[in-house]
Structure 1
Amino acid sequence: MSTTYFISDHHFGHKNIIDFENRPFSDVDEMTSNMIAKWNAVVRKEDKIFHLGDFSFLNKERTQEIVSQLNGYKILILGNHDRGRPRTWWLEAGFDEVSEYPLIYMNFFFLSHEPMYMNKQMPYLNVHGHIHGQKYEGRHYYNVSVEQLDYTPVSFEQIRDSVVVDEEQA
């Protein structure tokens, strides 16, 4: 049985992100190899993974090399740093599906790169990235930026179960 995973904001090839977000890597090569290893430690070839944007700052050839090393059926929701390239660029780089817009998953989860405004009465959860080490308060948001997850994709079940725990504690 396959599992569905989520993650965002790898910023492959972005040297300055190491300092901006205080990432524990000495250079982009170490960051790249570490993030690929952490992805493949949990995601199997038969799994599905949603990448919620800001995947790579590299050229298509180098991005393709990275994508080809990553397990799973890969769906990219374009982030602010991905939008300079058309959907076709990302498909040619190896993503199985690419969306320019947020998606709704399982009729309850809004998948987006940037956090979406969620009214307190709304029964939905916004799974997002973009804000890296920051976190929105409240039960309506789940940040899947790599900095929040020790660079390791998180499963749908982990997200779902954390929402149930939060509601029981509320």
Structure 2
Amino acid sequence: MAYVTKRYIADLHFGHTSIIANCNRPFSSTEEMDAEIVRRWNETVKSVDDLTYILGDYGRPGQDIFAFKRLFHSLRGRKVLILGNHDLRNDGAVIPEIASLPWHLPPTHLLEVRDEGRRVILSHYSMRAWPASHHGAVHFYGHSHSRLPGYGLSRDVGVDMPDVDFTPRTFKELTAGMELDKHGEAA
């Protein structure tokens, strides 16, 4: 199946109360934050065939697992989770409520995809070197909440980045400021 559009985003932190203060997010409650992220997501992701890669820290299940599942199902399109630290238990296992969601692919720590003819390496954490980094591959990451600038052809795609602004973004949108032409095409 061909996907209409691929998009990328990180650090949603659905249901995570302290993230609002820790990252100076412009919301008064998790309910307000969650609703606004869903609104912006669905304003952008139009088709059930669209594919959105979430680069970690999807959310906290909390006490109401049914509300957590409804939130997932309210987001349009297919979703792939690249695991972040808040998606895991202390023993390293995926939080069961997150693992049980109907992801398009099983959640994983690292994924390589192709977009706009480029290799794109997806992880929750920033890397200084990544597969084919010296041959034009692009690296998208989260975790740093806009506090860690990109290096070479890498960048933070977290919701806290001003140009992401709580909205899933396309490869072209995210690489608009990169000098892709100065780097060789990744094989």
TM class by shorter-chain length?
A: 0.7 to 0.9
Q: How many residues align?
A: 168
Q: Which amino acid aligns with 2:51?
A: K
> What SS does the corresponding residue of 2:27 show, helix, strand or coil?
coil
Question: Where does structure 1 lack aligned partners over 5 or more consecutive residues?
Answer: none
**Alpha-carbon spacing, 1:79–1:137, altered in 2? closer, same or farther (3 Å):** closer
Q: Which of 75, 80, 85 is the matching residue for 2:85?
A: 80
Counterpart of 1:152 in structure 2 is 167
> Quick one: which amino acid aligns to residue 57 of structure 1?
R
Give 1:97's aligned residue: 105
Q: Which residue of 2 aligns with 1:57?
A: 60
TM-score by length of 2: 0.79
Please point out which of 132, 147, 150 is paired with 1:134: 147
Q: Which has the higher helix share?
A: 1
Other structure's SS at 1:35 match: helix
Gaps of 5+ in 2: none
1:71-110 deviations in Å (ceiling 9; x for gaps): 0111111111102253764352232223322111116211
* CA positional deviation for 1:122: 5.2
Partner of 1:66: 71
**Contact 1:139 1:167 (8 Å CA) reproduced:** no
| Cα shift at 1:166 | 8.2
Q: TM-score, normalised by structure 1?
A: 0.87
Deviation at 1:152, TM superposition (A): 0.5
Q: CA separation of 1:61/1:94 partners in 2, compared to 1, >3 Å: closer, same or farther? A: farther
Identity of aligned pairs, percent? 29
Counterpart AA for 2:18: N
User: Is residue 45 of structure 2 the alignment partner of residue 43 of structure 1?
Assistant: yes
Question: Is 2:26 the partner of 1:27?
Answer: no
